[in-house]
Structure formats: C-alpha cells, structure tokens
Amino acid sequence: MRWRRLIALTGVAVGGLAGVAYGLFTSQSRRARVVIGLPDGPPLRADGVYGRGAGEPLRFAVLGDSMAAGLGVDDPAELPGVLLANGLADETGRPVCLETHAVSGSTTRDLPAQVDRVVADPPDVALVIIGGNDVTTRMSVAASAALLGTQVHRLREAGIGVVVGTCPDLGSIRPIAQPLRSVAHEWSLRLARAQRREVERVGGVAVALGDLLAAEFTARHVDYFSRDRFHPSAAGYEAAASVLLAPLWAVVTSPDARS
C-alpha cells in the first residue's frame, strides 16, 4: 500500500523504526517547530450580528480548530467567520448572527464538547473546520473520520445545516522540510477523503479545502500565510471563505439540508 511504504520510508511506521530514518524524521520535526513561529496570542473574537437585512437574524455557528477560529489575523474583520457572516448576509438579505465555538489547538477528539454547546441551542447552519491537528498529532485517519461523522450526525439530528471544510493540505507549509512534508501531504489528503465520506454519509456537505486551495497556498505562500508561517493570513482566510460561502448559502436555502 502506497501510504504504508511512504510511512516506512520516512520513519513514521509504528511497528519499529530504523535508527537513521527515525533520527531524520525527529530532527526534521524539531527543526520545523523552531522555524515555524508562535502566534502572537489567541484568536480574535468578533461574535455578533452582521449585515443590515430585514427579519430575524440567521444564526451561524463555527466549530473546529485554529483555522476555524481565524488564528493569524490582526483585524476582527479578517476572521473567516466574519467574512462568511457578511457574505451570507449579502446573499440572503438577512442579518447573520455569528457564534464562534472553535478552539485553537483542537483535534477531532475535542469536537464533541463544542457540539454539546451548539446542539443545546441549535443555530440554523454550522461550519466545521477540523483535521490539521489530527495530522500533527498522528491521530488514526479512520478514528478521526468516524468521530467527525458522529458529531456531524449529532448536528444534523438537531436540525442544523452542516458544511465541513475537510483537512487542509499541510504539505503546502514551507517550513516543513522533505520528506516530512510529503508525509504531511499524504496524511492530510487521506484524512480529507475519509472525512468527506463520513460527512456525506450522515447528510452534511463536505468542501475539500486541500484540493481547492493547496496549489494557491503553495504558489502564494508569502501572502497566504501569517507571520507564524503555519496559519493562514488575512488573504489566506479570504481564499478559504471564497470556496466555503457558496456551499453555506446552498445549505441555508435548501430545506433538505436543514431538516
């Protein structure tokens, strides 16, 4: 199997590592942690009502990890939740109430606690972005995807329309050297495919962020990554919002997606 051969070559196989391969992998991991800077602080928060349309505000919840929360921007107006809330307000002609539950550093294991809060008072539509930290912590692809499917099912059972931005391609992060970057790339794509299957199986809408954005992030890495060289910049979040808005709007306007 191609993935297992790649893991063995790069020293990530669980069943035992050659000394040279293990040393290469761990030294590159340490180097990546040094080169990648630390964020200046926690993500900004800008929950509230956006848009000036008439009627009851559309409630829009954001769940997931630091990418969902918008870590890396300097202005609340640049947060992905705010960009999407404004976009939904423009498309629907209604005000949109943004509710952010995403927590920086979360893996899919942390998602149930966020879903608990959301289903206690269900919004109209929810966006979930999760998976990057599952890759960096080497969480099993099968376990990660299955857990995501369970949580999306809980949201759907509560009558919430759900869009999931699947795992981004960590292979586009330049400070990660080869062959570690190839491992991150393959693991990200494998997880994203598994996430998509689970999300669609339980009635959610999956958006393949890695497939749609990796080439752009790789080509424009100076502009699309923030100062820490790991999280997106304002331009990077704008690119992500541009591929997420239409699926969110479709879910909001589709009775089937919200039943």
The conformational region for residue 70 under phi > 0 = left, psi -120 to 50 = alpha, else beta, is left
Q: Is 20 helix (H, G, I), strand (E, B) or coil?
A: helix
Active site annotation includes 27? no
Active site annotation includes 172? no
Q: Which of 157, 125, 131, 153 is nearest to 144 (CA)?
A: 131
Structure-token match 């919002």, residue found: 241
Please calculate the CA angle 213-195-191 and round it to the nearest 5 degrees: 70
Active site annotation includes 188? no
Q: Which of 65, 66, 169, 172 is catalytic?
A: 66
Q: Which of 90, 221, 228, 242 is catalytic?
A: 228
CB atoms within 10 A of CB 8: 15
- Residue 96 · residue 49 · CB < 8 Å: yes
Q: Which of 172, 188, 231, 233 is catalytic?
A: 231
Bridge partners of residue 233, in order along the sequence: none
Tell me the catalytic residues.
Answer: 66, 228, 231
